[in-house]
Each structure stands twice: as C-alpha cells, then as structure tokens.
Amino acid sequence: MLLMYTEQEQNILAAALEVFGERGREGAKIQEVADRAGVNKALVHYYFRSKDRLYDLVIDSAISNYFEKIGRVMEEADTFEQLLKSTIDTYLDIFTQQPHIRKLFFGEMLRDEESFKAKLRQSVERAPREVVPTFIKKMKQAQAAGEVRDLDPLQTFVSMIGCCIIIFIAFPMLSANIPEVANQRDALIAARREHIFELLYNGLRNTPAPGEISDEETL
C-alpha cells in the first residue's frame, strides 16, 4: 500500500533521502538529517527510532511512490505504443525531478550490492502496484494482437530501463568529451525521450518484411 506520513515525518524523510543519497547508508548522520529537516535530533529518533529504520523507511517510501507512478501510467495505457511512451516519460521524469532517489539507488548498488538488493526486494513486495508483471502482461497482449514482434517482454523491459538510466550515468563523461553538451542537459534528456521511444517502438513494431503485403494493404 502507499505509505502515509504526517507532514513533519514527510519533511524528515525528504531530508533523510537527501543525506542518504549524498553520503550513503554508512556515511549518513542523524544530526545532519535533523538539521536539514529543521528539527532536533531527538524528534528524528522519536519518529524513526534509529538510522537503520529511517534508512529502511526512506527506501520503502521511495519505492512505494516510484511504483505508484509507474504502475498507474502502465495500467492506464490503452495500447502498447502508449504504454511504452508513457513509461519512458515517467521514468525519465522521476530520475530528473528526484535526483536524490537516483543518487541513493545508484550509490548503494555500488557500495553494497547484495545488501541493497535484499532491501529492494522487501520494499518491492510492499509496493502498491506491480510494474514488471504489468509491462510483461501488456506486451504479451500486444503480441497476441499482432501489434509487436515476438521478443522477450522481460528483456524488453530491461532494455527500456537501461536506455533511460544510461544518460544520467554517462552525462559527466559526455560533458567532459563534448564541452558544449555540459550546458544542454535538459535538452539532451528531452531528445532522449523521443529517441528511446522511436528506437524501441520501431524495433518492436510488427511490420511486414520487405516484399510482404500488410493486412491493411490487402483491404
């Protein structure tokens, strides 16, 4: 279910997300979380008891909101084309508008991959909506309807996520190698939306092979 918190708890969780994103689980300090939230350290302990529990709830909250947004657009999509486009847009929106989530997830995977994966599995089990199963189900429906080619839906989902994530990982390297890119981050991400969609949808769309006649042409 979607997690509900008081306004003060939400402020503390938002501050904790920033601190954990910047410093990781081990480097984060409760005092810094309290300072950023504008409360005293005792109040953070009152609501969340310990740094470990606060960390777990930050991950739960991030996953819950993430799955809620992605799951909703997936469920509302009427066609596979719409499913692909809105999912790509939403992923890029989340990573662009909430950089601390991106930093936390990427950083923790590098610092302690096995521990973080275990925590993610627990959080995903409590998430309000399913994401990967929904994508797979809808892609299989599109395949059955002849809209898209017979490719592995799970591999397609992984490819889509990889295409969305790579721009944030590669941007520092791109900026260093192509100086004019450094001030064009927003434009680059906007162009990335269209590129990912066109690349994947045109590769997945069930089009006739050269020389074949489509169903529409026979009507």
pLDDT of residue 181: 86
Written as tens digits, the pLDDT of the chain (219 aa) is 445 789 999 999 999 999 999 999 999 999 999 999 999 999 999 999 999 999 999 998 888 888 899 999 999 999 999 999 999 999 999 999 999 998 998 888 888 778 888 888 888 888 878 899 999 999 999 999 999 999 999 999 999 999 999 999 999 898 889 988 888 989 999 999 999 999 999 999 987 655 555 555 555
- Residue 113's pLDDT is what? 75
Task: Confirm whether 215 is domain-assigned.
Answer: no
- The whole domain housing 95 covers 7-206
Confirm whether 213 is domain-assigned. no
pLDDT at residue 213, as a whole number = 52
Residue 218 lies in a domain: no
What is the Cα–Cα distance from 81 to 205, expressed in whole angstroms?
A: 9
The total domain count for the chain is 1
Asked if residue 38 belongs to a domain, the reply is yes
- What pLDDT score does 217 carry? 52
CATH number of the domain residue 54 falls in: 1.10.357.10
Q: Is residue 129 part of a domain?
A: yes
pLDDT value for 2: 47
Residue 54: the pLDDT is: 96
What's the pLDDT score for residue 110? 83
Domain assignment present for 1: no
Instruction: Confirm whether 84 is domain-assigned.
Output: yes
